Structure 1
Amino acid sequence: MISPALKDEGTWRVLASVGGQPVMWSTSIRPLASLGSVVASAVVIDQTRLTAGLFKGTEIPGDGPWNNYKRVMPAARPALVAAFNGGFRFNHIKSGYLSEGRIVRPLIDGEATFGIRADGSSIIGVLGTDMFNDGTWTTLRQNLPPVIHEGEISIARYPGTYWGSELHNVTYVMRSAICTLDDGRLLYAAVGDVDINALAKVLLLFDCRTAMQLDINKPLPQFVTFTRPGESKRDGILLDKRMGNPNRYLNNATKDFFAFFDPALLPANVVK
């Protein structure tokens, strides 16, 4: 990290609570002394106290009908805690995709995977090593091999992998990722502008155990919490000013996204 730190830089603050108890904490840092303009915004998520869902976009994956489709449905909005972006477009990756029990693209062993079970519990892991397609998963969303696995940067193990670039072949862009920490909680990070190697260094700095790169290029990386918990009328609050429309996940998302809910407020069988 760059020293001296700016005021409040690196200080974790409560971002969201459920039942009066914190479930998400956020911070922002300048993590790389060699790249002083890079800023990393991160959120630690206690997913054990939340219900997760993958929402499908009109373009990615498209091809409905889906229950969780293009926006958080009105019945689930009072329970909505946070939402964030999914992964790459299918034309950029070969990674697998299973959701709501449907296989959209064949799953690949060795790929980083966001898994959600029928009870809404969720983990990040490597398919075939940390988790298996044993019929207990309602969602297995893959996005490239792991950036970090078992606490070590693993990029070099996957030569030839397309880790993503800007439209004009610029590799230093805003990138996002999700990882598992040593204590089992999740961490979401939006970091920019970086290449895949710098992203990996930042994720290691945050003590990621297994990390999966998500979408890249502004304004696609996006993490949003919401006003007025428990009410039907909600408005998005961006984690980071570099992010886009705060109400994207309440309106008409073209790409898939993940959302976390307060299970005490979520009606049964509304989110699949």
Structure 2
Amino acid sequence: MSAVETTVGIAPGPEPSRRRRRRRRAGAVMGVLVVLLGGAGAGVGAVTLAAPPGTGPVEATAEWARDHGLNWLVTGLEKLQYAVDAPSEGGTPAGGIPRAPGALSDPASTPPLAPVAAGAPLPGEGVWQTVVAAHGRPAVQVTTLRVDDTHTSYLAGVLRMDPVLVRGTLHPGVGEPAGHWHASTSLAGRAGAGVAVAFNGGFKLSDPSHNGYYAEGRTVAPLLPGKASLVLHTDGRADVGAWGTEVWMGPDVASVRQNLLPLVDDGAVNPTCATGGTAEWGSTVGQNAFVHRSGFGVTADGTEVYVAGPALSVCTLGRLLADAGVVRGMELDINPAWVSGTYFHDRPGHTPQGFALFPAEQVPPTHYLTPTMRDWFAWYLRS
């Protein structure tokens, strides 16, 4: 969570000239943070110039501001931008429901997801497509859905993984959690061998929501009871739950990434998704703002599910997870600069080929091929 300049992504829809005017107004808001902090001295400038690949000047400045007690300023500017650049209502997705890039075969025979939007599904909506296979079986499948009844020109992506065929790893960022780790900060070179999926982690560890982080036997930020926790076990299997009651520390725990409160529990969306505030859903533009969001969860049979898209509130993100069969799920990060679901075709001896999960994704599929600022997850094909 950061980047005031990228709070809202605009998808194709009606009134293009109006959207261009709104985008220009939002663009003016984007620069406010840099202007306001421009007199802060070399500290801000140094962060901006030294930002790792994939992190722009305003993103780096916003990160610096949040880390130096100015979270209120960044959040205020995010809300101002949202006021002038909220996603449009109505319309249909430009070009309809796309075929998943890199799809390996005809649509899967498994039942499609029911549409979230009212009425009959659009052609191809909710239909699962295999994008990564292993041993002749689907390892990763994806589908695309309209996000809700109101923002009907926006599409979210849903990705599910078979834990028998893939294994997960928490990777550090060069800026957060920083330090020296065995896990790589990118998929460059040998680190990318066998990669199937990569996606963003959660809010900054310095966020007032106080999210914990544990990996490689080290606690970077304390693991707090009740927090939503994505736990990776030493066998590469993932689980999600409230820390201390549904998931907990043990000798087989490889990593824990906490973020906010559980969004889906026992298959039901948290009822505070629309009424909770900072304590539940963080210092953001608000749980009812429709912005880029991402989430992760597990189904009753252990299938691992990642959801991401534009124009999502906390509640609609939760509904997409629950509809995909998730019994325990959590929100990860928000904003187009950080929401980054990518799946890959492994090419032994060559750089893996990445594909964006949803059409409006602004983080390029090459993002994880270079060092990243923030922590992230990757899933690899099992040997």
TM-score, scaled relative to structure 2 = 0.64
Please tell me the residue identity of whatever aligns with 1:241: P
Q: Secondary structure in 2 aligned to 1:179?
A: strand
Aligned residue in 1 for 2:360: 242
Match of 2:261 in 1: 145
> Which runs of 5 or more residues in structure 1 are unaligned?
265-272
Decide whether aligned partners of structure 1 residues 227 and 25 sit closer, same or farther in structure 2, where only a CA change above 3 A counts.
closer
Q: Secondary structure at the match of 2:359?
A: coil
**Residue from 46, 70, 74 that aligns with 2:162:** 46
Matches within 5 A, 1:68-107: 68-72=183-187, 74-92=189-207, 93-107=209-223
The change in CA–CA distance for 1:134 and 1:78 in structure 2 (over 3 A counts) is closer
Structure 2: how far apart are the matches of 1:47 and 1:242? 28
The match for 1:165 is: 284
Gaps of 5+ in 2: 1-115
Structure 1's 125 and 235: CA in aligned 2 closer, same or farther, altered over 3 A? Answer: same
Q: Structure 1: how far apart are the matches of 2:140 and 2:293? A: 20
1:32 matches 2:151:
no
Which range moves more in the overlay, 142-151 or 110-119? 110-119
Question: Counterpart of 1:10 in 2: which secondary structure?
Answer: coil
CA deviation after TM superposition for structure 1 residue 251, in Å:
0.6
Distance, in Å, in 2 between the alignment partners of 1:164 and 1:199 is: 17
- Give the secondary-structure state (helix, strand or coil) at the position aligned to 1:25: strand
For 2:331, give the aligned amino acid: Q
The match for 1:270 is none
1-structure distance, mates of 2:243, 2:159:
24
The range that moved more, 127-136 or 228-237, is: 228-237
Pairs aligned (count): 262
Identical columns (%) = 26
1:111 and 1:26, CA in 2 relative to 1: closer, same or farther beyond 3 A?
same
Q: Which region of structure 1 is more displaced relative to structure 2, 229-238 or 51-60?
A: 229-238
- The AA in structure 2 aligned to 1:68 is A
Q: SS of the residue aligned with 1:72?
A: coil
Q: Which residue of 2 aligns with 1:59?
A: 175
- Partner of 1:222 in structure 2? 340
Judged with a 3 Å threshold, the aligned counterparts in structure 2 of structure 1 residues 230 and 155 are, in CA distance, closer, same or farther, namely farther
2:245 corresponds to: 129
Call closer, same or farther: CA 1:261–1:228 in 2, change over 3 Å. closer
After superposition, the C-alpha distances for 1:19-43 in whole angstroms (9 at most, x for unaligned) are: 2221111100114223323422100
What code does the residue aligned with 2:131 have?
L
Larger of the two Rg values belongs to structure? 2
RMSD across aligned positions (CA) = 2.2
Q: 1:155, CA displacement in angstroms?
A: 4.6
| Range moving further from structure 2, 147-156 or 209-218 | 147-156
Write the distance in 2 (CA, Å) between the matches of 1:188 and 1:227: 18
Q: 1:38 to 1:245 in 2, by over 3 A?
A: closer
CA distance in 2, matches of 1:132, 1:59: 27
Match of 1:255 in 2: 374
> What TM-score, normalized by structure 1, do the two folds share?
0.88
- Distance (whole Å) between structure 2 residues aligned to residue 41 and residue 5 of structure 1: 15
Select the structure with the greater relative contact order (CA < 8 A; seq sep ≥ 6).
Answer: 1
